Every structure is written in structure tokens, then in C-alpha cells.
Structure 1
Amino acid sequence: MDNKKLQELVEEISITFFQRPFRHQAYFNPRLRSTGGRYLLSNHNIEINKRYFELFGEKELIGIIKHELCHYHLHLEGKGYQHRDADFKYLLKEVGAPRFCTPLPDSKKRKASKRILVYICGDCSQVYKRKRAINTAKYVCGKCRGKLIKVKELTEG
């Protein structure tokens, strides 16, 4: 499927399920990694992750398009278009759009291998385990204000 066919599919789904035309651009964005699609508030375009179509087929693609069209039509109408809004949740149910897309197989691998950084206070030996690196020149021990030292980096999974 190319961008032209995607555009036609989005326009068709918009008329069929929303009874409103889609008057902007829909295209595949190869840079999308962790999401199936994205509605751009600035120019009202819709970007789709082509990998979802390649891995899961047209049914998943249609679900992603419906989801993004919910954002699109609600935003243009001035209603609640965000995931937390009641208008958005209601319209998702109305058109049979998924709230979330199926996770990509490689995203599970990335989440499984978590790194843990271990820091220790040089004065009181308090241990700190963190997922993100700490700037040891800027931050000190919360217990005694001593200097933090990076001890090791563990990877789980």
C-alpha cells in the first residue's frame, strides 16, 4: 500500500463511519516507532506507522485510522479530542475504534531489558537504584547530603 491508497482509504472510512469528509493529508511516516498513528494538531494531517499494516494487516490499519479520525473530527468540531476526554471515548465506541493499537513485537524486547543504575552515598552508604542517570555533580544524598558515587549498572531481562 502506498500513500495514495492510504489517503483514499482514510477518506472512505471518514465518510462511512463519521459521515464527514477528511479534507487533509494522510500518509505513512517511517519515523514512527512506538505508535500506530498520530494526528497532527498543527496542520490536521494524519501520520500512520506502515509497520502495523505490514505486520498485522488491513484490519489493524483500519482501527488505527478510525482512532486518528476520532481525534481529527473532534478537534475540528471544538470538542474533547484527547484520550482522557469523554467525547473522545464515546466516539471511539460509536465507530468501533480501538483505544490502543496492538504492541509491536520488538517493543516487548525493549521493555524487557531494563537497566538499573546503582549509586551509593560516600558518607552514609545509602543505596539508590535509578532507571535514569543522576548528575552526581549536581545531586547529593537525601539522607546526609553526602557525595553520590555510581557503583554499577545492571541490566534485567
Structure 2
Amino acid sequence: MNNQELQMLVESISINDFKKPFRHKAFFNARLRTTGGRYMLRSHDIEINRKYFEQFGEAELIGIIKHELCHYHLHLEGKGYRHRDSDFRQLLKQVDAPRFCSTLPDTKKRRVSNRVYIYNCSACGLVYKRKRAINTARYVCGKCRGKLVKIKELTVG
């Protein structure tokens, strides 16, 4: 499926399920990683993750399009278009759209680091324990603005 076919599919779903026209652009965005689609508030365009269509098929794609069209139509009408709004949840049920899309099986989970970095302020002696390293040339103590010195790096667990 290409962008032109996607555009036609979105327009037909909008007319059939929402009884309202879709007057903006719908296209595939290869940079989307963790989401099935995205509605752009400023341009009113809809971006779709092509991987969902390739891995789950047209049924999942239609569900994602319906979900994004709920955002689209509610936003243009000035109603609650966010996930937590009752207008949004009501419209999702009305058009039988999923609240969340399926998770992609090939997505790599972020590796959890088991390191702890310990820093000491040379001026006031305050000890910082951090999961992420600090650039000591750039950052200073939050209490006294003294110079931070890396004491040690521990591997936990």
C-alpha cells in the first residue's frame, strides 16, 4: 500500500464511519517507532506507521486510522480529543476503534543499566547517587554550585 491508497482508505473510513469528510493528508511515516499513528494538531494531517500494516494486516491498520480520525474530528469540532476526555472515549466506542494499538513483536526493549554513579561535591561534601553519568565539566552541585568529582562507578546486581 502506498500513500495515495492510504489517503483514499482514510477518506472512505471517515465518510462511512464518521459521516464527515477528511480534508487533510494521510501518509506513512517511517520514523514512527512506538506508536501506530499520530494526529498532528497544527497541520491536521495523520501519520501512520507502516510496520503495523506489514506485521498485523489491514484490520489493525483500519483500527489505527479510526483511532486517529477520532482525534481529528473531535479536535476540529472543538471537543475533547485527548485520550483522557470522555468525548474521545465515547467516539471510540461508537465507531469501534481501539484505544491502544498492538505492540510490535520486533521492537527492542531498552536495556536497563545496572550501574550507579557516585559523585561528591568538593565544596560542601554532598554525595550524589545517579543512574546516569554526569558531565562534571558542565554540571555543578545543586546546593552550593561547587565542583563535582566522580568518586566511583558501581555495578549493582
Q: Give the shorter-chain TM-score range.
A: 0.7 to 0.9
| Cα 1:54–1:105 shift into 2, 3 Å | same
Q: Which has the larger radius of gyration?
A: 2
State the partner residue of 1:35: 35
Identity among equivalent positions (%) equals 54
Q: Name the structure 2 match of 1:99.
A: 99
1:117-141 Cα deviation digits (max 9, x unpaired): 522326768461325x434342427
- Distance in structure 1 (CA, Å) of the matches to 2:156 and 2:32: 26
The 3 A distance-change label for structure 1 pair 94 and 120 is same
Q: Who is 1:9 aligned against?
A: 9
Q: Distance in 2 between matches of 1:150 and 1:22?
A: 59
2:8, 2:156 → 1: CA distance?
A: 46
Deviation at 1:48, TM superposition (A): 0.5
| TM-score of the superposed pair, with normalisation by structure 2 | 0.81
**In the alignment, structure 1 residue 149 sits paired with structure 2 residue 150:** yes
- Partner residue of 2:117? 118
> TM-score, length-normalised on structure 1?
0.81
> Which consecutive unaligned segments of at least 5 residues does structure 2 have?
none
* Structure 1 unaligned spans of 5+: none
In structure 2, what is the Cα distance between the partners aligned to 1:89 and 1:118? 44
Counterpart position of 1:26: 26
Of Structure 1 and Structure 2, which has the larger fraction of its residues in helix?
1
Give the deviation of 1:94 after TM superposition: 1.4
Moved over 6 A (4+): none
SS of aligned partner of 2:71: helix
Per-residue CA shift, 1:90-146, capped at 9, x if unaligned?
Answer: 111211111111122233x233x1234522326768461325x4343424276xx77
Q: Is the 8 A contact 1:121 1:147 kept in 2?
A: yes
C-alpha RMSD of matched pairs (Å): 2.8
Distance 2:147 2:6 in 1: 58
Partner Cα distance (2:46, 2:55) in 1: 20
1:110 is paired with a residue whose SS is coil
Q: 1:146 to 1:48 in 2, by over 3 A?
A: same
Contact 1:118 1:151 in 2 (8 A): yes
Alignment deviations for residues 137-156 of structure 1 (CA, whole Å, 9 cap, x no partner): 424276xx773417338699
3-state SS, counterpart of residue 47 of structure 1: strand
